[in-house]
Amino acid sequence: MAALRGSSVRIASVATAFPSGQSFTSIKVAETEEAVRAGAHEIDMVIDRGAFLSGDYQRVYDEIVAVKEACGEAHLKVILETGELGNYDAVRRASILSMAAGADFIKTSTGKVQPAATLPVALVMMEAIRDFVRETGRPVGFKAAGGIRTAKQAIAYLVITYETLGPEWMTPDRLRLGASTLLNDVLMQIDKERTGAYQSADYFTVD
């Protein structure tokens, strides 16, 4: 926190019993408030998949509304954990529901469940965003997380974002890619451009 003072780096924090989302709403709300108080600019929440898959959409919706309220000024990313939703219809329904409940971003995955982000799932979510914007005028961001390991894969996500949502989404406040593994590949590609040869993976630290 102290190290970042005065910089443009923003702080994001997970909350709401990440990654399972298996806890009481009151605890999730309290956790969110605590994270915001500790300085988080963005909160990543997970939806209650148990409730969603059993058809209790109201509960999922109410919980997002409550967490959004607890966020105050902080931005809310809602993680759908698409790898557990079972099909594209459910992904679309969860996307619309999250945006209607106030999500500033919808995000594919926690990264703890496989499969995480895939291109078809990303397309379904982006088309949902496009429809939501059309209906409400409120832009919502998209984040793909988990499974994007190489620069080449990342480019594929950039291309479908550009083609589906347009150039206005090609900015950090509307598009994010989960980058923990990706970062080293990007560094490797940069080094390749610089030296003309690929370096061993061991020259890039795994943190």
Partner 1 sequence: MAITKKQSTALAKQVFEYAPAPEAVDHVKILPRYGLFIGGKMVAAHSKKRFPTINPATEKTLSEVVDADEVDVDRAVKAAGKAFESWARLPASRRARYLFRISRLLQERSRELAVVETMDGGKPIKESRDVDIPLSAAHFFYYGGWADKLEWAFPNRKPTPLGVAGQVIPWNFPLLMLAWKIAPALAAGNTVVLKPAETTPLSAMVFAEVCMQADLPPGVVNIVTGAGRTGSLVVSHPDVKKVAFTGSTEVGKLIQRAIAGTGKRLTLELGGKAANIVFEDAPLDQAVEGIVNGIYFNQGHVCCAGSRLLVQESIAEPLLEKLKRRLSTLRLGDPLDKNTDIGAINSRAQLEKIQGLVESGVEEGAELYQPECVIPERGFWFPPSLFTNVAQSYRIAREEIFGPVLSVLTFRTPNEAVEKANNTPYGLSAGVWTDKGSRILWMAERMRAGVVWANTFNRFDPTSPFGGYKESGFGREGGVHGLLPYVELN
Indicate which single residue of 11, 38, 65, 159 sits in contact with partner 1 (rule: CB under 8 A).
Answer: 159
Q: Which positions from 13 to 52 touch partner 1 by CB under 8 A, shown as an x/- string?
A: ----------------------------------------
- Does 127 interact with partner 1 (rule: CB under 8 A)? yes
The CA angle 113-165-140, to the nearest 5 degrees, is 65
Q: Which residues are catalytic?
A: 44, 107, 143
Q: Which positions from 166 to 185 touch partner 1 by CB under 8 A, shown as an x/- string?
A: -xx-xxxx------------
Residue 178 has, within 13 A of its CA and on its CB side, a CA count of 22
Indicate which single residue of 162, 177, 182, 187 sits in contact with partner 1 (rule: CB under 8 A).
Answer: 162
Closest among 151, 144, 152 to 178, alpha carbons compared? 144
Q: Specify the residue for token string 């984040």.
A: 143
Q: φ, ψ for residue 96 (rounded to 5)? A: -65, -45
Closest among 145, 143, 21, 121 to 75, alpha carbons compared? 143
Task: State the minimum distance, in angstroms, from the CB of residue 104 to partner 1.
Answer: 15
Task: State the minimum distance, in angstroms, from the CB of residue 170 to partner 1.
Answer: 3
Stretch that binds partner 1, among 21-29, 55-63, 75-83, 157-165 (CB under 8 A): 157-165
Compute CA distances 114 → 39, 136, 187, whole Å: 31, 33, 25
Stretch that binds partner 1, among 19-27, 57-65, 71-79, 126-134 (CB under 8 A): 126-134
The CA angle 179-182-184, to the nearest 5 degrees, is 120
Q: Specify the residue for token string 């959409």.
A: 57
Identify the burial level of 130 via C-beta atoms within 10 angstroms of its C-beta, where 0-12 means exposed, 13-18 middle and 19 or more buried: middle
Task: State the minimum distance, in angstroms, from the CB of residue 16 to partner 1.
Answer: 28
Task: State the minimum distance, in angstroms, from the CB of residue 137 to partner 1.
Answer: 14
How many chain residues interact with partner 1 (CB under 8 A)? 14
Task: State the minimum distance, in angstroms, from the CB of residue 189 to partner 1.
Answer: 16
Residues that bind partner 1 (CB under 8 A): 8, 127, 131, 134, 158-159, 162-163, 167-168, 170-173
